[in-house]
Structure formats: structure tokens, C-alpha cells
Amino acid sequence: MNFLFYISAFIAVAATGMVITRTNAVHALLYLIVSLLAVALIFFTLGAPFIAALEVIVYAGAIMVLFIFAIMMLNLSSATVQQEQGLLAPGIWRGPALLCLVLAGELAYFLTAEHERLSRMDLVPPKQVGIALFGPYVLGVELASMLLLAGLVGAYHLGRQEDETKGER
Amino acid sequence: MNETVMVLIRTFGILAALLSVGGLLIWLERRLLALWQERYGPNRVGPFGLLQVVVDMVKVLFKEDWVPPFADRPVFVVAPAIIVIVTLLSFAVVPFAPGLAVIDLNIGLLFFLGMSSLGVYSVALAGWASGSKYSLIGGLRSSAQMLAYEVFMGLSLMGVVMQAGSFDLARIVEAQQDTWFIVPQFFGFIVFLIAGIAETHRLPFDLPEAESELVAGFHSEYSGLKFGLFFLGEYLGITLISSLVAVLFLGGWQGPWLPPLAWYLAKTFLFIALFILIRATLPRPRYDQLMAFGWKVCLPVALLNLLATGAFVLLKG
């Protein structure tokens, strides 16, 4: 099992690296899908098949398809590829990389120094998260759903086409 | 060790059976279509024209494997393989008879939904990578269509999951000991069947490859073996949807007198024939009609079915 974990973890990291460095948007998205599938496999090897299935259905199967759909409509030309190449200049990624290094250091610290505390931590099963979300935090969930609804209505309004031939409807 | 060998035999046996069924379906479809349209169909090569498949296969294999210069090569090559791989993977969770499945996964149904949602990539990427406008429009249509129909494909199955209390396909079959789910879940059955036809983009929902307006849609630029993979993927998809309808709504292997596998095969075959009959009879709708039908009819029906099933399960339990 450990062996399988390391293989999928390596694929996830490598694919994510490829996502960042690709200049063609569709190729980058394909690597992102591979990365998501690898993460799903990691969940599976860690004994969380339900989360693994949701990862595939929601992220790889629905959200990424929408991304691909949008990019297919945009018909990106070679000019955007050049623009992307410009984004890979060291001046732009130096800041984020530094911040990520801090996070990586923190993670490494937790995994080595605080190893005992991590293993003593209580696992939170999905059912408990659900109960918490629709129990004490129900107001937050409702607020978030209202925000999403507002976004949806707004997007619909922006996308509406005025019927010029018939005038006001 | 013995266990491992059995698993390997079972897995590769099922794989070989599926691939030959996929090939035979091409012959079956042409013969049945001909029957319903008062023609003969392919009846020259071998007994009843059965060897027509072999001849076609040889032809496809010997065609030049060509990638158009304006295509995005790596994506163009990968796209047809995706649909075959994900459809074959979906079969891993289908229980053909008691104990006869590649894997008895407790999230079997979710696994199928995940794999079928990955199938969209095949068509969308093929359309994009071909670098031709007909292919692109076909790819766009298919991604919109499959995204839309996937939503209530999943929703229509949740009623079955609620009543059976499990995502495990074998449990679902066992839960249909007394009544098949087609009776209490009739609307779920109808919606799933329609969504299944749309997912495999078969007629009348074959707008992604409508030959009257888009040449051949997303696979306009494909030829030879790569086109063959799309073809195989489509027939495997038909078999998959038919098996799932049989397993989820018609009690799978359950039935009197005959052995379980025979019941499963009979029920699956019934729906494969239905797929072909629908192709032979129904005209193709307009694209906006297709999308409107999905969002304005199928989705509400699936949601209402879910609501009613939920209320029923709550009241009973």
C-alpha cells in the first residue's frame, strides 16, 4: 500500500509541476486532470474510497470539463502561448515560490517534529462534517448558498442578450 | 496464489468477452436495422454475415494511421483511447452473476458515475485536437450535452440507492429480491435510460456527430484504428448502459428457472435491442430542443422522483 501511495504521490507532484510550466492551456489542463486522478488514488490507498469517488466525479469529471469547455470556445492562438511564456520569467514566480517554501517547511516540521501529536489527532468522518455543517453552522452554509445564488443570477443577467429586433419584451 | 490466478482469469475473461461483444454488436446493429427497415443488411461473409466484423476489422487495421498536420498530435492520439479505457473500467463494478464481477466495490455506483464523467474528455479533446471547425463544434456540442445529461443521470440513480441503502451494485441486485426497482422507480428508470442514450451519444441524441450538418462531428479527422476505437467505445457504452439498466432496475441476475448469468444476458440484450430500435425509428431533434428537454423535463422529473422516494423511505422507515 505504501508503495502505491508513493507512486501516485509522485505522479501528482510531477503532473502539478507540468501544469505550471505548460504554455498551452489545454495541455496544462490535461496534466491537472492527471494530478486530480492521482490525488483520488491517494485518497483510495489511504482508505477513503468515498472521497476518492467524489474527487473524480466533482473535480476531474465536472469542474475540469467546464474549464476545457471554456478554453475550447476561446480558441487560443499562438499569441497567448507567447504571453504564457512571458509569465514563466523568474521575476513573476519568485514571490509565490518563496511563500510556498514557507508552507512546505511548516509541513515538514509537522511531519517530523510533531509526529506524535498528529497521530493522536481525532479523525473527522464525513458524516460528522455534514452534521456540523447543517447543525451549528447552518447559517454559514445558507449565507454561502445565497452568495452562490446571487452569483448565478448575476451571471445570467450579464449573459442575457437584448433582443434588438423586437425591442422591449 | 490460486486466488490471484482466479482473479486474473475472471478479469481477462470478462475483458475478452466485452471486446468480442463490442465487435459483434456492429454486426447485430446492422442486421437489426436492416430487419426493421425491410432490407437484408450484411449477409454475405460467413454464416448470416457474421464474419463481416472480421473483414471490417482487417480493413480498419490495414488503413494508414494518419494524423492531420494541423492537429495537436499528442492529444489527438490520446483522445480515442480515453473512451474505451473508462468504459471498460466501468464494467469492473458490474455484477454479471453472484460473485462474478471484477471487483465488489462498496462505492460501485459512484465509480461508474466517475468513469462516465471522464468519458466526456474523449469527445471534447478529440474535437479540440483535430483543429477543424466541424470537429470543434461537435466537441463543444458533446461536452455541453454530456455535462447536462450527467447531472440527472446521477440524480435518477439516487432513488435506487435510497431504496437499496447501498452504492454497491451487488447489494442493489440483492435488494430487488421481491420487486424489481423498475416498479417503484419507474421515473428514475425512464430518466436514466434517456440520459444513458445521451451519454453514449446515440441516435436520436447524436448531435455531436450529426452527419447532415457536421460531416462526422468530433471524429471527422479520425481514420483507421483511432476511428475504430471511437466505434468500439460507442458499442461498449451501449453495452454498459444496457447492463446497468438491467442491474439497477430489472433485478440483474435475478429470475426463476434459468441460471443467473442467462437472466443477466437476456435483460441486457433486451436493452441493446431497444437502443438499436430507437436508432431505427426516431428522428434527430434540434440541438436547442435537446438541451431544453434535458433541463426542463428530465431534471425536474429526476428531482421530483428523488423527493417522492425520500418521503417514501422516511415514512416507511
Cell numbers representing residue B153 in the block: 443521470
d(CA B101, CA B99): 6
Q: Which of A24, A33, A69 sits opposite B143 (nearest CB)?
A: A69
Contact A57 B117 (CB under 8 A): yes
**Closest Cα to residue A25, out of A91, A80, A65?**
A80
Angle of CA points B10, B12, B18, to nearest 5°: 100
Once rounded to an integer, what is the mean pLDDT over residues A47-53? 82
Chain A closest-CA separation from residue B155 CA (Å):
13
3-state secondary structure (DSSP) of residue B286: coil
Q: Flag whether residue A6 sits within 8 Å of chain B, measured between CB atoms.
A: no
CA distances from B277 to B208, B263, B268, B281 (A): 20, 21, 14, 6
pLDDT tens digits along B231-257? 888 888 889 999 999 888 888 788 788
**Closest Cα to residue B194, out of B274, B273, B253?**
B274
Chain B closest-CA separation from residue A69 CA (Å):
7
How many distinct helices (H) and strands (E) make up chain A?
Answer: 9, 0
Residues contacting residue B270 through CB under 8 Å, at least 6 positions apart: B242, B246
Residue whose C-alpha cell is 504521490:
A9
Q: Could you tell me if B105 and B170 are in contact, meaning their C-beta atoms sit under 8 angstroms apart?
A: no
Confidence at residue B227, expressed as pLDDT on a 0 to 100 scale? 84
Which has the minimum average pLDDT: A22-26, A103-107, B23-27?
Answer: A22-26
Residues contacting residue A77 through CB under 8 Å, at least 6 positions apart: none
Confidence at residue B283, expressed as pLDDT on a 0 to 100 scale? 81
Q: Is B212 exposed, middle or buried (0-12, 13-18, 19+ CB in 10 A)?
A: exposed
Residues contacting residue B177 through CB under 8 Å, at least 6 positions apart: B254
Q: How large a percentage of chain A has pLDDT more than 90?
A: 10
Q: Which of residues 12-51 of A touch B (CB under 8 A)?
A: 24, 26-27, 30, 33, 49-50
d(CA B153, CA B155): 6
Chain B closest-CA separation from residue A153 CA (Å):
17
Q: Is the pLDDT of residue A169 over 60?
A: no
Contact A57 B114 (CB under 8 A): yes
d(CA B168, CA B108): 5
Confidence at residue A150, expressed as pLDDT on a 0 to 100 scale? 94
Bridge partners (DSSP) of residue B100 are B97
Confidence at residue A148, expressed as pLDDT on a 0 to 100 scale? 93
d(CA B157, CA B159): 5
Q: Could you tell me if B274 and B202 are in contact, meaning their C-beta atoms sit under 8 angstroms apart?
A: no
pTM for the full predicted model:
0.80
pLDDT tens digits along B59-108? 888 888 888 887 788 888 888 888 889 998 888 888 887 877 777 778 88
pLDDT tens digits along A125-163? 777 878 888 888 889 889 999 999 999 999 888 888 766
**Closest Cα to residue B122, out of B150, B144, B142, B149?**
B142
Q: Running DSSP on this structure, what letter comes out for residue B93?
A: G
Confidence at residue B159, expressed as pLDDT on a 0 to 100 scale? 87
Nearest CA in chain A to B110: A53
Contact A60 B140 (CB under 8 A): no
Which has the minimum average pLDDT: A8-22, A108-122, B8-22?
Answer: A108-122
To the nearest 10 degrees (0 to 180), the angle between helices A2-21 and A25-45 is 160
pLDDT tens digits along B296-305? 888 899 999 9
Confidence at residue B234, expressed as pLDDT on a 0 to 100 scale? 86
Q: Is B216 exposed, middle or buried (0-12, 13-18, 19+ CB in 10 A)?
A: middle
d(CA A44, CA B92): 16
Confidence at residue A166, expressed as pLDDT on a 0 to 100 scale? 57
Strands (DSSP E) along chain B, which ranges?
A: none
pLDDT tens digits along B83-93? 889 998 888 88
Q: Flag whether residue B150 sits within 8 Å of chain A, measured between CB atoms.
A: yes
Q: Running DSSP on this structure, what letter comes out for residue B97?
A: B
Which has the minimum average pLDDT: A6-15, A106-115, B195-204?
Answer: A106-115
Q: Flag whether residue A134 sits within 8 Å of chain B, measured between CB atoms.
A: no
Nearest CA in chain B to A56: B114
Provide the sign of the torsion angle of the four alpha carbons A25, A73, A167, B285, taken in this order.
negative
Q: Which of residues 38-77 of B touch A (CB under 8 A)?
A: 72, 74-75
Bridge partners (DSSP) of residue B97 are B100
Residues contacting residue A31 through CB under 8 Å, at least 6 positions apart: A15, A16, A18, A19, A22
pLDDT tens digits along B209-227? 666 667 777 777 787 788 8
pLDDT tens digits along A147-156? 999 999 998 8
d(CA B136, CA B129): 8
Q: Flag whether residue A63 sits within 8 Å of chain B, measured between CB atoms.
A: no
- Kindly report the backbone phi and psi dihedral angles of residue A112, in degrees, each rounded to the nearest multiple of 5, phi listed first: -100, -60
d(CA A27, CA A18): 9
d(CA B252, CA B271): 13
d(CA B243, CA B237): 10
Q: Is the pLDDT of residue A167 over 60?
A: no
Contact A30 B75 (CB under 8 A): yes
Residue whose C-alpha cell is 501516485:
A8
Confidence at residue B172, expressed as pLDDT on a 0 to 100 scale? 85
Contact A27 B75 (CB under 8 A): yes
Q: Which of A60, A72, A73 sits opposite B118 (nearest CB)?
A: A60
Cell numbers representing residue B304 in the block: 421530483
State the pLDDT confidence band at A1, using cuts at 50, 70 and 90: low
Which of B111, B151, B158 to substitute to test the interface with A, most A CBs within 10 Å?
B111
Cell numbers representing residue B117 in the block: 464523467
Confidence at residue A119, expressed as pLDDT on a 0 to 100 scale? 63
Q: Flag whether residue B161 sits within 8 Å of chain A, measured between CB atoms.
A: no
Q: Could you tell me if B298 and B152 are in contact, meaning their C-beta atoms sit under 8 angstroms apart?
A: yes
CA distances from A137 to A1, A14, A129, A144 (A): 37, 37, 10, 11
Q: Flag whether residue A68 sits within 8 Å of chain B, measured between CB atoms.
A: yes
Cell numbers representing residue B266 in the block: 437476456
Q: What is the mean pLDDT of chain B?
A: 84
CA distances from B155 to A65, A143, B168, B214, B310 (A): 19, 25, 16, 31, 12
Q: Is A41 exposed, middle or buried (0-12, 13-18, 19+ CB in 10 A)?
A: buried
